[in-house]
Structure formats: structure tokens, C-alpha cells
């Protein structure tokens, strides 16, 4: 069996989202749904942030919505895709948009009240290092709210490709428990992780694949096959996908969405840090 490394090619990630920028808002319905969930979850904390950082801001939709909720706050959006940031600046002229990598945030220590990170972490290799950066820039009483994808995301597509070959056709996503562990390891306090499943249905599988390509979310794993996909392989995958077809002749695609929120570097009693993480289902 051919072994394919599962680390993401960061240059390909940046290029893919740059290419997808123009059509991104038209096709990113999952990201919009999850973003709305994150905004609702902000009601859990009675905070009035003066400085907000949106990491992986994309076209800046979340920055725009946050500016409506917190009109007095300074809101910064960071992304590795420059074309996305150009669109974001047009959408929200009052926002401050920065072309940077989440691994090295150009932000001062202890300066941010609230970090938002919507559907970005699944495109990163070293998530723990990113959490370390989040911890560094958060104020002691700051908060982090994030969303990402869990390993059951697109399992229908992944399992169907497995009937064709041993190559990796769908990006790898890590389990929710690992996020909780990493948050505790870097010193972010009181992490709460929960999961929601969202299912979309399509007239055919090609429609799903087109949507993934339009938002830049196709296979970006380093070492993936660069050869053209043969018609026979594609036909075999589509045939395997038919077992998931619904009674109304539609093809489902499931997303396991992982949500998390945590306090920053707030000082807690040592024994409280050892308490188990609360997982909601």
C-alpha cells in the first residue's frame, strides 16, 4: 500500500483559498451556518471586548458581524490568503485586516480580549502551536471561541474513495478530545468542547465535489497524487457512494463540527485545572 503523508501543504492551502476568494461567499454555506452558531455562543459570556481578533477571517464576514455587535471594539482580521483579505476590506472598511500566518501572529502579548476562529484550524498542521499563540496574545481574562471539523466529516466521500484506491482523497481531521487536551496543555483554562453534526444533501456527488472546490476545500495534503483522475476511478467512487443515497434519491454529505471555547490565562486553583473537560453531545 502506498503511504501518503497526511500533513497539509501550507503553500497549497494559501493558493487554494486565494483562487477561491471571488466565489467563496456564494458557496460557503457550512461556514456561514457555523459562524452564526459561534456568534450565538458569545452570549454565554457577559463580556464587552475592546479588542477582538478573528483568525482565519477569509472574506471578513465574521468581522462585519462582530462590528455590528461590538461597535466600540477594535476588530482585527488575519488570514494567509491575500485575495480573501482584499474582499474583506471592501466589505468592512472599519476593520483592520492583516496578511499573516496563525503560527506567528503579529500581535502584542496580552492585548486581545476575544479571539474568534471559525473553520480554520482544520487547515493547520501544528494546532498546538497555534493555541500557544492564542494564549500569548490573550489578556488574562480573555476568551477564545473556535470551530473546526472532526474526523467523521465527509465520511461518505472518504469511504467511497477507499473502494477505489489507498490514496488519501479527503483531508484528515482530528478528534474533538485532542483539542481539549491541547487547550489544557498550553494553559488555556476551563475548555468546553462539543460537537454538532450537519448534513447537506445533493442531487449528485459531482455537485458536492464542485462545492468543495469552489470554497478551496479540496484535498490539500502534501504527497497526494498529482496525476489526472481517470474516468474509471471516478465512476467507481460514484458507484460506491450510491449506498448512502437517501430515499428521496439525494446524496448526503455529513460534517462533524467541533466547537470550543475557553478562558485565557486566568489564574485558577491547581486542582481545578485537573478537572475533566466537559464534553457536550
pLDDT of residue 98: 96
Report, as an integer, the average pLDDT of 147-162: 96
- pLDDT tens for 177-232 read 999 999 999 999 889 999 999 999 999 999 999 999 999 876 555 444 454 457 89
Distance CA 54, CA 44 (A): 18
CA neighbor of 254 nearest in space, from 160, 166, 131: 160
Write down the mean pLDDT value for the chain. Answer: 87
Q: Give percent of the chain with pLDDT exceeding 90.
A: 72
DSSP at 221? B
Q: Give percent of the chain with pLDDT exceeding 70.
A: 86
Distance CA 8, CA 21 (A): 20
Distance CA 5, CA 79 (A): 25
**Which pLDDT band, with edges at 50, 70 and 90, does 14 fall under?**
confident
The yes-or-no verdict on residue 258 having pLDDT over 90 is: yes
Q: Which fold has domain 10-151+173-198+257-280?
A: Rossmann fold (3.40.50)
pLDDT of residue 168: 83
Residue that the C-alpha cell 501543504 belongs to: 9
Report, as an integer, the average pLDDT of 240-253: 97
pLDDT of residue 44: 77
**Which pLDDT band, with edges at 50, 70 and 90, does 11 fall under?**
confident
- pLDDT tens for 231-245 read 899 999 999 999 999
Q: Count CB atoms within 10 A of the CB of residue 70.
A: 19
Residue that the C-alpha cell 462582530 belongs to: 66
- pLDDT tens for 49-107 read 999 999 999 999 999 999 999 999 999 999 999 999 999 999 898 889 999 999 999 99
Q: Count CB atoms within 10 A of the CB of residue 36.
A: 13
pTM: 0.87
pLDDT of residue 274: 42
Distances (CA, A) of 30 to 35, 66, 183, 259: 8, 19, 25, 14
Report, as an integer, the average pLDDT of 30-36: 96
Amino acid at each position: 500500500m502506498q503511504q501518503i503523508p497526511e500533513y497539509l501543504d501550507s503553500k497549497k492551502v494559501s493558493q487554494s483559498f486565494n483562487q477561491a476568494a471571488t466565489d467563496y461567499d456564494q458557496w460557503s454555506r457550512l461556514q456561514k451556518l457555523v459562524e452564526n452558531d459561534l456568534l450565538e455562543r458569545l452570549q454565554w459570556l457577559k463580556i464587552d471586548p475592546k479588542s477582538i481578533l478573528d483568525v482565519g477571517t477569509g472574506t471578513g464576514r465574521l468581522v462585519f458581524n462582530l462590528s455590528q455587535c461590538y461597535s466600540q471594539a477594535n476588530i482585527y482580521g488575519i488570514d494567509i490568503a491575500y485575495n480573501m483579505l482584499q474582499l474583506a476590506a471592501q466589505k468592512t472598511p472599519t476593520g483592520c485586516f492583516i496578511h499573516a500566518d496563525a503560527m506567528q501572529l503579529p500581535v502584542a502579548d496580552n492585548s486581545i480580549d476575544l479571539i474568534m476562529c471559525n473553520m480554520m484550524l482544520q487547515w493547520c498542521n501544528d494546532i498546538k502551536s497555534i493555541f500557544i499563540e492564542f494564549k500569548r496574545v490573550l489578556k488574562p481574562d480573555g476568551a477564545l471561541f473556535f470551530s473546526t471539523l472532526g474526523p467523521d466529516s465527509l465520511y461518505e466521500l472518504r469511504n467511497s474513495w477507499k473502494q477505489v484506491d489507498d490514496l488519501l482523497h479527503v483531508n484528515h481531521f482530528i478528534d474533538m478530545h485532542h483539542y481539549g487536551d491541547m487547550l489544557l496543555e498550553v494553559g488555556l483554562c476551563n475548555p468546553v468542547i462539543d460537537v454538532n453534526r450537519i448534513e447537506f444533501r445533493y442531487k449528485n456527488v459531482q455537485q458536492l465535489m464542485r462545492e468543495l472546490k469552489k470554497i478551496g476545500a479540496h484535498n490539500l495534503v502534501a504527497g497526494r497524487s498529482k496525476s489526472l483522475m481517470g474516468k474509471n476511478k471516478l465512476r467507481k467512487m460514484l458507484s460506491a457512494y450510491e449506498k448512502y443515497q437517501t430515499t428521496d434519491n439525494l446524496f448526503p454529505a455529513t460534517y462533524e463540527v467541533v466547537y470550543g471555547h475557553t478562558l485565557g490565562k486566568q489564574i485558577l486553583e491547581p486542582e481545578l485545572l485537573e478537572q475533566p473537560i466537559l464534553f457536550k453531545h
